[in-house]
Structure 1
Amino acid sequence: MNIADIATSDFVELDADVRLGKVRSIFERENPKGIVITEDGAYAGVITQKQLVQSHVEDNAKAGAMMRSAPKVERHDDVREVARVLVEGGAKIAPVFEGGSLWGVVTGDDILEAVLENLDALTVEQIYTKDVVTITEETHVGQAINLLRKHSISRIPVLDDDGDLSGMVTTHDIVDVVVRDMNKATRGDRSGENDRVLDLPVYDIMNSPVATTSLDGSVRDAVERMLENDFAGLVVTPDHDDSLVAGIVTKTDVLRALTFTEEEHMDVQITNINLLDNTISRDDIREEIGDVASKYQDMQVQHAHVRFHEHKEKLRGTPLIQCQIRLRTNKGQAAGSGEGYGSDTAFNVALDKLQRNVLEMKGVRADEEYRGQLLRKLGEL
């Protein structure tokens, strides 16, 4: 299946100098899938409605200040490759070109809707993310913000005093309450209001009840719920016990599963690949992870996901980078994370942590048929 069967011409093209007030009115009036921004007639970036709604940027700002870069794809690209491009670029939408001309747009949701029937044979347990960060109801909003930034995530499950799932806090929830309170305050009061919001317990702003799915639930059912309710993800619970947190499954997890291939070498996926500098490449990353796996003869790496995130801090012009590595192996999942100035340093710190975590893996149920099963189940795409 190529992307021409999925992409749509339901988009609007605007110049970067257009005011956001006009962008908002276009979304309200025409409800396009996205807006493609150009500068001097050349493609520059995209704006989505959700991004605009969550931004709280004033109407007189220029569209160029709001746009985000998104990878370009070709009209006849394979759906697996487009899914990879979206995941690695951290994008929800991509412009589709044909012969150098803008032809349409495609979103992650479009792809998931198109392959929905093929997802029925997959279970949530095969693709979900384990070992998620959690907080308690008494955690302050300021502490939650720090965790969101540190782990480069957009949502955190909230547990009550008994360790049971009681809510969910997202970056959107925090932005909403901060902007609402700041708008109520006068200019002189804003510093105090901001401190007050940061000291609030997350219980005051969390969403409850939380949308969940079970480990043995079908990926199709999970994706349908996410699409119908505009959820980015669902909390995964074990054995149909909605009070416990086993992990999270997101739309990105599903898109990532679509990219698995039967290549001879290990499949490596990199999120925010643009942060790689001249000191490290995709091949370097694959080789280094392969070296770690080769030390443990009974462990076979089926898929590796490496995520880079850039912090604002710099040292002599080199940005502080966070790197997270997650391996899916025939012995279960293994992960490691680290920070350093430059992507090469960050990757090596994360790789060292990963190796130590691999050594500590004990008693994890083997799943030697995982890769073959997943490829067969997705083989009709």
Structure 2
Amino acid sequence: MNIADIATEEFIQVDTDERLGKVRSIFERENPKGIVVTEGGAYAGILTERQLIQSHIADDAKVNVLARNNVPRVEREANIRDVARMLVEGGTKVAPVFEDGDLWGIVTEDEILDAVLDNLDVLTVEQIYTDSVVTLEEDDRLGKVINYLRENDISRLPVVNENGRLSGMVTTHDIAEFAVRTMERQHKGDRSGDTDRMLDLPVYDLMNSPVETIGREETVSAAVERMFDHNYAGLVVTPDDDETIVAGILTKTDVLRALTYTEEENMDVQITNIDLLETISREDIQEAITDVADKYQAMQVHHAHVRLTEHKERLRGTPLVYCQIRLRTNHGQVAGSGEGYGAETAFHVALDKLERNVLELKGIRADEQYEGQLLRKLNEL
């Protein structure tokens, strides 16, 4: 399947000279996945809501200081699996679509997921959700929320009460919406919403509640339909017998990533923010992860995901990079993370942690097998 009939010619565009304040208002009013940025009528990049949330740039700055021109460009006849990979690895929910070298339109993750929805009932939530999740407490402040979103390169955070039970959800869109309302009050002369007081707001006052959840045994198609019905980009995953316990998160990006899974002999490795790679290639990463996985012969790796996140800190011009490696295997998920200056260093730190976790899993499985053999012998007495 290609995206010729999926992409759309309808999209919002702004010029590079437009003020960021106006763009914030567009996101608040229209809630687009992204905005196409043009210069003199020609394509110049994409601007997303997450970029606005994660930046500290004033509203009177121009759009060109934030527009991303490294978002993958998609050909109108491209294969849907390849486009899904481009969106995930490019860390974007929208990409420009070109035809014969000219900007034709855009394609979004929602349009792709809607096109394949009927095929997603072969997958369960448990097969693709993320079980490593960052949570907030109800009395955490907005400043902490923003830092968590930025540091973990995520768009939503579950909120738990004093008993550790799920009580709400806060997203980048919630923060953007609140910021726009606050700025409107300031423009009218109401100083009650100044920046310091905004950042001191407890998350309880901002979060959405109740929270939509999904059980681990439910189908991915049911999960996506629920996201569409409520206009959510993600759901909290819970054990099937308790909807108040946070077991993980399932996002539309997780589902897109699943579309790229292959049955090829070589391990399928997906890299988020692949543009950070400079001194190491995808092939090097694939070979290194395969070597680690081979240390546990009983483990079959279905998919490997490498996420790279760049921090502002630098050492002699080289950025500090955080790397997380996550393997989805027939024995569950195994992960390793670490940071270093440059993507290659960060990857190898994370790889070392992954190897330790793989060997630990191997030891646990060996202990379980020994315990099983011992029990059988005891039963024979």
TM (norm. structure 2) is 0.83
Does structure 1 conserve the Cα–Cα contact (< 8 Å) formed by 2:50 and 2:155? no
**1:14, distance to aligned residue in structure 2 (A):** 5.1
Q: 1:259 corresponds to which residue?
A: 260
Q: 1:379 corresponds to which residue?
A: none
**1:58, distance to aligned residue in structure 2 (A):** 7.8
SS of equivalent residue, structure 2 residue 92: coil
Summarize deviations over 1:296-322 as a string: whole Å, max 9, x none.
111121210001111111111111111
Cα pair distance change 1:22/1:315, threshold 3 Å? closer
Cα pair distance change 1:357/1:179, threshold 3 Å? farther
Does structure 2 conserve the Cα–Cα contact (< 8 Å) formed by 1:124 and 1:249? yes
The amino acid that maps onto 2:103 is L
The amino acid that maps onto 2:203 is V
CA distance in structure 2 between the partners assigned to 1:318 and 1:3 by the alignment: 38
Percent identity of equivalent pairs: 68
CA distance in structure 2 between the partners assigned to 1:22 and 1:42 by the alignment: 20
Does structure 2 conserve the Cα–Cα contact (< 8 Å) formed by 1:54 and 1:172? no
Q: 2:359 corresponds to which residue?
A: 359
Cα pair distance change 1:148/1:361, threshold 3 Å? farther
SS of equivalent residue, structure 1 residue 314: strand
Unaligned runs of 5+ in 1: 366-381
SS of equivalent residue, structure 2 residue 4: helix
Q: 2:90 corresponds to which residue?
A: 89
User: How big is the alpha-carbon RMSD for the aligned residues of Structure 1 and Structure 2?
Assistant: 3.4
Summarize deviations over 1:180-237 as a string: whole Å, max 9, x none.
5577679xx9899544444443223222111111111121121112123221100011
Summarize deviations over 1:106-156 as a string: whole Å, max 9, x none.
111100011111112321111111121122223333333333333222222
The amino acid that maps onto 2:4 is A
Stretch deviating more after TM superposition (327-336 or 349-358):
349-358
Q: 1:64 corresponds to which residue?
A: 64
Correspondence 1:332 to 2:332: yes
Correspondence 1:309 to 2:323: no
CA distance in structure 2 between the partners assigned to 1:225 and 1:307 by the alignment: 26
SS of equivalent residue, structure 2 residue 320: strand
Q: 1:105 corresponds to which residue?
A: 106
Correspondence 1:37 to 2:37: yes
Cα pair distance change 1:28/1:191, threshold 3 Å? closer
**1:30, distance to aligned residue in structure 2 (A):** 9.8
Does structure 2 conserve the Cα–Cα contact (< 8 Å) formed by 1:267 and 1:304? yes
TM (norm. structure 1) is 0.83
Cα pair distance change 1:3/1:158, threshold 3 Å? same
Summarize deviations over 1:253-294 as a string: whole Å, max 9, x none.
0000000112221000000000111x2111111111111111
Cα pair distance change 1:360/1:145, threshold 3 Å? farther
Cα pair distance change 1:345/1:173, threshold 3 Å? same
Does structure 1 conserve the Cα–Cα contact (< 8 Å) formed by 2:49 and 2:172? no
CA distance in structure 1 between the partners assigned to 2:46 and 2:103 by the alignment: 13
Aligned residues: 362
Does structure 1 conserve the Cα–Cα contact (< 8 Å) formed by 2:28 and 2:176? no
The amino acid that maps onto 1:253 is D
The amino acid that maps onto 1:138 is D
Cα pair distance change 1:103/1:56, threshold 3 Å? same
Stretch deviating more after TM superposition (239-248 or 64-73):
64-73
Does structure 1 conserve the Cα–Cα contact (< 8 Å) formed by 2:54 and 2:150? no
CA distance in structure 2 between the partners assigned to 1:99 and 1:282 by the alignment: 29
Stretch deviating more after TM superposition (138-147 or 248-257):
138-147
The amino acid that maps onto 1:239 is D
Does structure 2 conserve the Cα–Cα contact (< 8 Å) formed by 1:80 and 1:259? yes
Does structure 2 conserve the Cα–Cα contact (< 8 Å) formed by 1:302 and 1:330? yes
Does structure 2 conserve the Cα–Cα contact (< 8 Å) formed by 1:169 and 1:207? yes
Q: Note the 1:111-190 alignment, pairs <5 A.
A: 111-177=112-178
Summarize deviations over 1:310-354 as a string: whole Å, max 9, x none.
111111111111111110111110111111110011111111111
Q: 1:299 corresponds to which residue?
A: 299
Cα pair distance change 1:261/1:364, threshold 3 Å? farther
Q: 1:2 corresponds to which residue?
A: 2
Q: 1:377 corresponds to which residue?
A: none
The amino acid that maps onto 2:64 is G
CA distance in structure 2 between the partners assigned to 1:32 and 1:291 by the alignment: 42
Cα pair distance change 1:9/1:180, threshold 3 Å? closer
CA distance in structure 2 between the partners assigned to 1:55 and 1:309 by the alignment: 15
CA distance in structure 2 between the partners assigned to 1:283 and 1:201 by the alignment: 45
The amino acid that maps onto 2:134 is V
Q: 2:379 corresponds to which residue?
A: none
Q: Note the 1:340-359 alignment, pairs <5 A.
A: 340-359=340-359
